């Protein structure tokens, strides 16, 4: 199946599962949270408001609280939503491992069916933690195996990907024409809080490594009328490209933003991030492309 087909199928699956972080305002109509679950729902809902120096511990505590819930409740929904928020920054491998263990345990206790022959979204959430955040998971289930296989196929397509898009001034940029440069491709949106949070670090890195051959291509599928004033207000100087109809996002199997991909001077995909990264994390990724 093409990246577009997998991306659309994953969106269908994701839409079928209530997300606390995305749809908590409608939760009362769709899920009857227990009194024990309601405080956890509220904490997950406001997790982005927690200061960065406290968020790792709060995330770990939430994972353990979810694990302590009765098996008959909504552990899987909560574990999946926590997993989706746990990768927004650098909160440590120990935190991510705790989140992954909680999600794997919830899936063992509450296996869910996929749709149209594709794994259910919680299996993808766990597979992404394992493949891209390098944690461990013990889950013997065909949907998890299938999710891991689909992610591997996505990476094969990204490694071979090419595109040509226009920037805000109408100049055309082609990925493969940038051989000899280190290219950081960043998918983002003006409405996305984690995207906005990493903008200053990307700008700093662009200025720091411009003379060493770093090119940042930030891709948005929004209209130029929305993107251009936002970029001007944020004083972003690196290249912003427009992806009308999100065709390039589809080619990269991007089912959420932000996501970043780094290609070395030979055009090889050497690092990627499934969520927001800190400056330190971006530096670690760029080092894999030979930039220090």
pLDDT, tens only, 90-141 = 999 999 999 999 999 999 999 999 988 889 999 999 999 999 999 999 999 9
- Mean pLDDT, the chain, rounded, equals 91
Q: What is the mean pLDDT of residues 139-155?
A: 97
Compute the residue count for the chain.
292
Q: How far apart are CA 187 and CA 161, in angstroms?
A: 14
Pairwise CA distance, residues 190 & 244, whole Å: 15
Number of other residues whose CB lies within 10 A of the CB of residue 2: 12
Query: Would you state the pLDDT for residue 30?
Result: 77
Beta-ladder partners of 145 = none
CA distance readout (Å), 285 to 94, 278, 279: 20, 11, 10
Find out if CATH 3.40.30.10 is the number for domain 164-287: yes
Per-residue confidence (pLDDT) for residue 9, from 0 to 100: 43
DSSP letter at 43 equals H
The answer to whether 8 is a known catalytic residue is: no
What is the model's pLDDT at position 24? Answer: 41
- pLDDT tens figures, 26-73: 344 578 999 999 999 999 999 999 999 999 999 999 999 999 999 988
Active site residue: 40, 56, 195, 253, which one? 195
Mean pLDDT confidence for 264-288: 98
**Confidence at residue 117, expressed as pLDDT on a 0 to 100 scale:** 86
So where are the chain's domains?
3-156, 164-287
93-109 vs 121-133: helix axis angle to the nearest 10? 150
Cα separation, 88 vs 56, whole angstroms: 11
* Confidence (pLDDT) at 15: 40
3-state secondary structure of 52: helix
User: Each residue of 205-232: pLDDT tens digit?
Assistant: 999 999 999 999 999 999 999 999 999 9
């Amino acid at each position: 199946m093409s990246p577009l087909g997998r991306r659309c199928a994953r969106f269908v699956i994701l839409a079928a599962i209530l997300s606390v972080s995305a749809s908590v305002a409608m939760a009362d109509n769709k899920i009857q949270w227990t009194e024990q679950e309601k405080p956890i729902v509220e904490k997950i809902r406001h997790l982005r408001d927690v200061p960065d120096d406290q968020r790792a511990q709060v995330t770990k505590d939430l994972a353990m609280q979810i694990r302590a819930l009765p098996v008959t409740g909504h552990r899987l929904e909560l574990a999946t939503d926590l997993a989706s928020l746990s990768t927004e920054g650098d909160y440590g491998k120990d935190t991510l491992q705790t989140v992954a263990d909680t999600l794997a345990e919830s899936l063992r206790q509450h296996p869910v069916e996929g749709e149209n022959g594709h794994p259910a979204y919680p299996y993808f959430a766990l597979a992404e933690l394992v493949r891209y955040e390098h944690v461990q998971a013990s889950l013997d289930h065909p949907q998890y195996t299938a999710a891991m296989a689909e992610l591997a196929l996505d990476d094969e397509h990204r490694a071979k990907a090419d595109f040509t898009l226009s920037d805000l001034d109408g100049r055309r940029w082609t990925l493969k024409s940038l051989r000899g440069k280190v290219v950081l491709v960043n998918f983002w949106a003006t409405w996305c809080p984690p995207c906005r949070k990493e903008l200053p670090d990307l700008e700093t890195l662009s200025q720091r490594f411009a003379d060493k051959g770093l090119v940042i291509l930030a891709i948005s599928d929004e209209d130029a009328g929305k993107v251009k004033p936002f970029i001007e207000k944020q004083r972003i100087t690196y290249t912003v490209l427009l992806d009308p109809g999100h065709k390039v996002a589809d080619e990269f199997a991007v089912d959420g933003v932000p996501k970043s991909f780094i290609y070395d001077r030979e055009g090889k995909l050497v690092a990627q991030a499934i969520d927001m990264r800190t400056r330190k994390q971006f530096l670690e990724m760029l080092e894999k492309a030979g930039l220090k």
